[in-house]
Amino acid sequence: MAIAPTVRVQQQDFDLAAEVAALTSGRTDVGAVVTFSGLCRDEGGALAALELEHYPGMAEAEIKRIVSEAITRWPVTGLTIIHRYGQIHPGENIVLVVAASPHRQAAFEAASFLMDYLKSRAPFWKKEHHVDGSAGGWVEAKEADATALKRWDEKGQR
Amino acid sequence: MAIAPTVRVQQQDFDLAAEVAALTSGRTDVGAVVTFSGLCRDEGGALAALELEHYPGMAEAEIKRIVSEAITRWPVTGLTIIHRYGQIHPGENIVLVVAASPHRQAAFEAASFLMDYLKSRAPFWKKEHHVDGSAGGWVEAKEADATALKRWDEKGQR
Amino acid sequence: MTKLLYFAWVRERIGKREEEIDLPAEVVTVSDLLEWLRDKGDGYAEALQQPQVIRVAINEEHVDHREAIAGAREIALFPPMTGG
Amino acid sequence: MTKLLYFAWVRERIGKREEEIDLPAEVVTVSDLLEWLRDKGDGYAEALQQPQVIRVAINEEHVDHREAIAGAREIALFPPMTGG
């Protein structure tokens, strides 16, 4: 399916409803839309803000590569990824993934795949700033995220 | 986690953004929100409308039972299910599921589980009305939906 | 008296949404009920010709065809669900 | 001249975002580059003390440490990513 995915790396917030509408308005071939919003948590009150650093240019390029992979794997009618950078406070949005498809399973799997790949392959890094003024340091990559990624390799080999 | 899920069975449309905001506004413990919107497709132009019949009373009760099951399985901070009934035209919303959690995998799995259970256990029936005026008859339950349901049993037994 | 509810094509074939019925003592299980109803007329026979596909809820909860119907206020018969 | 970019704690430890470097001929692979950079000063040594954890992109694409750097316009060094 020839679709034109939307990929944006930006400082400002996004509008979930507008992004879903962009993939569904005026269409009658979309049966399922899955969205994922990633938000900043305050870690039990300790976190004042996250600072998101990214590699401009490569961030967009890498996300586009991930999106292209998803398009070859699932019958999607639309895909949108928006990843923010800069200072982000608890309760605020960090990332949005929207996957639209005729079928629910494809929409769920494409969105989940995109999130797993974003976590481990997109060039973004999070630094924590604590409420007490101390720099919390850089968030470490989680083993669980690498594991989450592997399940898509296994599926691809079946 | 003691959460107060939202379950609504209604004729009118829903507002995706408002439902997401209801699970996230003023909170700093939500890291992931997954939404699923199910829409009416026109089946290549043949479908004029879907008529959704439901069993009032039981529809709400059964969805609440499904939601309670999801709450025991995943660490969710909020769950919302809205299922419409009545006449629904191509491009319009049928169902909304929103799952909020500290963690992305829990939000994805809870939303996917809720949809699979809604498909096969919630007392709703779809009748097709064709563009040419013929009554298309009642939509038949799909084998694939029964299969989708079984994967949750297997997981529970692991 | 027990209230019977019909939905979707079960409703269309039987030709009514609901009815109050005095069930005889020999109708013990859901299976018995489906068999007994089939003899009530052509619409019932048509609706229930393949009893194994009929889904049943007693007092708004899904039940098996082997379930006893004693104490049921409301029994609903319907085809496999197609919600979501 | 090759442009080197540093991100996150690699950037902080080396103390700069980017630099243009004339790489000697014996620096053939990414591994060679990491080893060669470690000798450029304390910041570099601190940033690259565990070269196996450093991720590398050449011309904005992820590469293995065994990859040849010939033809690279831009080489970026950074810790494992934590986006999403």
Which tens digit of pLDDT belongs to each residue from B19-38? 999 999 999 999 999 999 99
Indicate whether D84 belongs to any domain.
Answer: no
Q: Give tens-digit pLDDT for C17-32.
A: 999 999 999 999 999 9
Identify the pLDDT of residue A156: 57
Say which residue, A158 or D57, is predicted with more confidence.
D57
Q: Give chain C's length.
A: 84
Chain B nearest-CA distance from A48, in A, is 11
CB contacts, 8 Å: B95 with chain C: 83-84
The residue type found at D76 is: A
pLDDT of B47 strictly over 50: yes
The secondary structure element, H or E, covering residue A87 is strand A86-88
Q: Does residue B102 belong to the interface with chain A, where contact is any CB pair within 8 Å?
A: yes
Nearest to A97 by CA among A79, A116, A119: A79
Indicate whether C84 belongs to any domain.
Answer: no
Chain C nearest-CA distance from B25, in A, is 27
Verify B-C touch: 3 or more CB pairs within 8 A: yes
The total domain count for chain D is 1
Indicate whether C39 belongs to any domain.
Answer: yes
Nearest to C79 by CA among C52, C55, C43: C55
Indicate whether D83 belongs to any domain.
Answer: no
Q: Give tens-digit pLDDT for B96-132.
A: 999 999 999 999 999 999 999 999 999 999 999 999 8
Identify the pLDDT of residue A158: 41
CATH number at residue D49: 3.10.20.30
Identify the pLDDT of residue C5: 98
Chain A nearest-CA distance from D20, in A, is 17
> Mean pLDDT in chain C?
97
Indicate whether D39 belongs to any domain.
Answer: yes
Q: Does residue B93 belong to the interface with chain A, where contact is any CB pair within 8 Å?
A: no
Identify the pLDDT of residue C43: 97
Instruction: Give B16's contacts (C-beta < 8 A, 6+ positions apart).
Output: A16, A17, A20, A35, B35, B37, B96
Q: Do A32 and B33 touch (CB under 8 A)?
A: no
**What is the residue whose two structure tokens read 């025991």?**
B72
A110, with CB counted inside 10 A (0-12, 13-18, 19+), is buried
Identify the pLDDT of residue B94: 98
Indicate whether C61 belongs to any domain.
Answer: yes
Chain B nearest-CA distance from C40, in A, is 24
Q: Give tens-digit pLDDT for A23-60.
A: 999 999 999 999 999 999 999 999 999 999 999 999 99
Q: CA–CA distance from B139 to each of B47, B117, B135, C66 (Å)? A: 12, 17, 11, 27
Q: Distance (Å, rounded) from C-alpha A124 to C-alpha A115?
A: 13
Sort residue A42 into left (φ over 0), alpha (ψ -120 to 50) or beta. alpha
- Cross-strand partners of A52: A86, A126
pLDDT of B146 strictly over 90: no
Q: Among partner residues C57, C61, C79, which is closest to B125 by beta-carbon distance? A: C79
Q: Do D78 and A118 touch (CB under 8 A)?
A: no
Residue-number span of the structural domain to which D74 is assigned: 2-78
Identify the pLDDT of residue A133: 82
Q: Do C81 and B94 touch (CB under 8 A)?
A: no
Single pTM value for the model: 0.95
Indicate whether C83 belongs to any domain.
Answer: no
Q: Does residue D68 belong to the interface with chain A, where contact is any CB pair within 8 Å?
A: no
Q: Do C81 and B123 touch (CB under 8 A)?
A: yes
Verify D-C touch: 3 or more CB pairs within 8 A: no
Return the percentage of chain A with pLDDT > 70, whole number: 97
Q: Does residue B27 belong to the interface with chain C, where contact is any CB pair within 8 Å?
A: no
Instruction: Give B112's contacts (C-beta < 8 A, 6+ positions apart).
Output: A108, B36
The residue type found at D69 is: I
Indicate whether C19 belongs to any domain.
Answer: yes
> Mean pLDDT in chain D?
97
CB contacts, 8 Å: A105 with chain B: 148
Chains that touch A (3 or more CB pairs under 8 A): B, D
Q: Which of A55, A64, A81 to probe by mutation at the D interface, max D CB count within 10 Å?
A: A55
C13, with CB counted inside 10 A (0-12, 13-18, 19+), is middle
CB contacts, 8 Å: B45 with chain A: 28
**pLDDT band at B156; cut points 50, 70, 90:** low
Q: Give tens-digit pLDDT for B50-100.
A: 999 999 999 999 999 999 999 999 999 999 999 999 999 999 999 999 999
Structural domains in chain A plus CATH codes: 6-150 (3.90.1170.40)
pLDDT of C10 strictly over 90: yes
Q: How many CB atoms within 10 Å of residue D4?
A: 20
- Residues 114-143 on B with a CB inside 8 Å of A are 115
Q: Do C81 and B122 touch (CB under 8 A)?
A: yes
**pLDDT band at A154; cut points 50, 70, 90:** confident
Instruction: Give C72's contacts (C-beta < 8 A, 6+ positions apart).
Output: C2, C58, C59
Contact present, C76 and C17 (Cβ < 8 Å): no
Q: Give tens-digit pLDDT for A98-128.
A: 999 999 999 999 999 999 999 999 999 999 9
